[in-house]
Every structure is written in C-alpha cells, then in structure tokens.
Amino acid sequence: MSAAAPDLAALPERQLAAAAHKICADLTAAKPAIYWADLVLTACVAYAGFAGAILLPTFGLKAAAFVVSVLAFYRGVSFIHEVSHLRASDVPGFKAGYNVLIGVPYLVPSLMYEGVHNQHHAKSRYGTILDPEYMPLARQTVWHVIGFVLVSALAPIGLLIRFAVLAPLAAILPPVRTFMIERCSALSINPHYKRDHPTEAQRPLWITLEVLCSAWAIAFLGLTIAGVIPLQIFLTALALGSAVAVLNQVRTLAAHHWENEGDEMTSTGQFLDSVNVPPPATLPMLWAPVGLRYHGLHHLLPRLPYHALGAAHRRLCEALPADSAYHKGSHRGFWHVTGRLLGAIRDRRRATATEIVAGE
C-alpha cells in the first residue's frame, strides 16, 4: 500500500470499495431530467450574468452580475466531468447538449476530457507520472502551489491560441498536429502528461468539435480586431475565463491531499488521498459544484451520478462502522484541507533542513 495511508496497511484492498458498492448499488442510475434541467438552467444564468456584466448601469451591479456569471459558468464547465463518466444511454444527447450550451462557446469541448479523465481513475495510473490530473504538491514548495494557482489565469488565452492558431495549422502540418493533440488537448495538470491520439471511433466527433471551436475562436478574435465586438466584451470574456479557471484550480487544491510520491495505490489508498467536504459546510456548493464536494466518494464509486452522491455519503456514514476508513475521508472545509497541504509542505521542508544540518 502507498505511504499516503500507512495506518491502513492491514485493510484488505477491496474491502471498502466492495462494501460501498453493495450499500449504494441502487443509486447508480442517472436521472436525465435532473441533468438536463440543471445544465439548461445553469447555462441561462451564466449567459444572463455575462450580459448583465456588460449592460447593467452601475459598477456594483456589473460586478455582482460578473460574480454570478463566473459561478454559473464554473458549474456549467464542471459538467464536462459528468460527460466523461456517462455512457451514451445514461442521459441521451447530454454530451451534445453540453457541447452546444457550454463546451464550444467556452472553448472547453468534451474532447478535452474524454479519454483523459478515465486515466486519472485507473489503478495503475492514479498518483503516478502517468496520471494527467495529479501532481505531488505536498512534496513540493509553497511557491509551487502559488504558481499552480496563478498560471491557470492564462487559460482563456491558451484556449484561444489552441483553437484559433494551432488547430488550423494542425490541419496542414503533421508536426503541429502531433504537438496539439499530445500537449494541448487535455484538461490536465501534470506537465509530463502526453495525451493519446483519438481512436477511429473518437475521430468524427473530435474533428467536428475542432472545426466548431476553431471557427468560433477565429470569429471571436477577428470580430474583435475588426471592432464589431467591442473591446469591453472581449476583455470581460477573458476576465470571466480567467476567474473560472482560477476558481477551479483553487478547488483542485482541495480535491486531493497530493501526498503520493508516484507509487501505485490501492482503491482505499486513492480514496484516502482524495477529499469529501460534506455538509454542514455550505460554501462547497459554490466552489465544488456538480458533486465535486464528494471527490473522495467519487473515486470510490466513479459510476455514481453527481445527484446521488449526497445520498450515498449519508448511507455510507450510517452503515459503515465507526472505525471504517470511509469516515477518514471527510473534512470540514477548504481551509482545513489546504491547511493540511501547507502543513505537509512545511514539515517536509523542516525535515529536509534537519537532514542537511545533520549531514554537516
């Protein structure tokens, strides 16, 4: 077992996951009405908020509308996580709905996550150099954490370059195509990660989304340069994209404990390196929407739809004994989790300094 959870070395690897599957077996069915109502309402609020940030008469009202739009777009983009887990028959047409309402307009189409996120759940990849969504932040420095958050503010610029510049070049230059697919086509945080090329089955949708996003990005930039789209709208859109990306990156700090050093982990080890922030905490509804507040539970039962996670968590808390590893996965809130991360960094720095002094 990984060093991330040494106190559970005697726990059978499959015990917790097997118990959780049995307890929550009847909660795995996705409810299309919830998915569609949530996505459509979220998109309406997001675009209305963006319009308000442009059109409302006072700075205060504009700022309030901007915040609403950021939170709504953040929730909307978070549905890409659900899209990556849903089978086509679970919620028919939902992937297309996401791409039309959020993915293409926001330049975060489903191709950026499908075929990538599933690798984060793979037992042989989680927490290793092959995991697209893992960095051992607890083994690094505070400056690494600060840089990890701040670099995300450049996301909207990166997406515009990716779709307005690289995508057209990739259509005619194979080396650019290889670079774009491997290094610019995944919502990942691991700088060493290289994405696999799309399969034949994935290629038609991939090309369709590439064309749509590229056309939209070129039109957005071209119309802004031509003065058709006012500079205020362009800059507000960039600010919106940066705010959503930074919010997501800050949330990511509390998604895991980031303590694994690259070893393969058991399912229980993965769960304990991940984080649940259940009620009574209320703010996670905003900074960890669409079920992301139950990230540890999601790693334990990745097939559960987001709307079932709360009920599943309550069941597991009631059904599992007090000494179950499951109870160790819940935390009070964002600051509790990030405090642990910063504490791990501090302790590691002190240990390193002690070793250096002892060596002298």
- According to the model, what pLDDT value does residue 360 have? 62
Cα dist from 26 to 22, 34, 193, whole Å = 9, 17, 36
152 within 8 A of 249, measured Cβ to Cβ? yes
- CB contact at 8 A, 119 and 130: yes
Burial of 216 (0-12, 13-18, 19+ CB in 10 A): middle
Question: Looking at residue 248, what is its pLDDT?
Answer: 98
**Tally of residues, the chain:** 360
Please measure the distance between the N-terminal and C-terminal CA atoms of the chain and give it in whole angstroms.
Answer: 34
Look up the pTM and report it: 0.93
Vertex 52, ends 51 and 55: CA angle to 5°?
85
* Helix residue ranges per DSSP H, the chain: 15-23, 32-55, 59-85, 94-98, 117-121, 142-150, 155-161, 167-170, 174-184, 203-225, 231-253, 267-272, 284-287, 295-300, 309-319, 334-359
Please compute the mean of the pLDDT values over residues 6-26 and round it to a whole number.
Answer: 71
For 120, other C-beta atoms within 10 Å of its C-beta total: 22
pLDDT at 13 over 70: no
- Residue 124 in 3-state DSSP? coil
Tens digits of residue pLDDT in 100-151 = 999 999 999 999 999 999 999 998 999 999 999 999 999 999 999 999 999 9
d(CA 242, CA 235): 10
- Looking at residue 14, its pLDDT comes to 60
SS3 91: coil
Looking at the DSSP bridge assignments, the partners of residue 256 are 274
Mean predicted confidence (pLDDT) in 297-315: 97
Structural contact between residues 108 and 102, judged by C-beta atoms closer than 8 angstroms: yes
Residue 8 pLDDT greater than 80, yes or no: no
Banded pLDDT at 348 (limits 50, 70, 90): confident
Question: Which residues are bridge partners to 330 per DSSP?
Answer: 276
d(CA 212, CA 104): 7
Nearest Cα to Cα of residue 95 among 202, 255, 167, 237:
202
- For the residues 25-45, what does the mean pLDDT come to? 98
Cβ count within 10 A of residue 350: 10
pLDDT surpasses 60 at 7: no
Q: Pick the range with the lowest mean pLDDT from 27-31, 308-312, 323-327.
A: 323-327
**57 vs 80: CA distance, rounded Å:** 34
Residue 153 to residues 128, 159, 214, 250, 284: CA-CA distances in angstroms? 26, 11, 21, 11, 21
Range with the poorest average pLDDT among 1-10, 48-57, 268-277: 1-10
Closest CA to 338 of 138, 190, 189: 138
CB contact at 8 A, 269 and 325:
no
pLDDT (0 to 100) of residue 262: 84
Q: pLDDT digit string (tens) for 275-293?
A: 999 999 999 999 999 999 9
- DSSP 3-state of 89: coil
Q: Comparing C-alpha atoms, which of 15, 287, 100, 52 is closest to residue 108?
A: 100
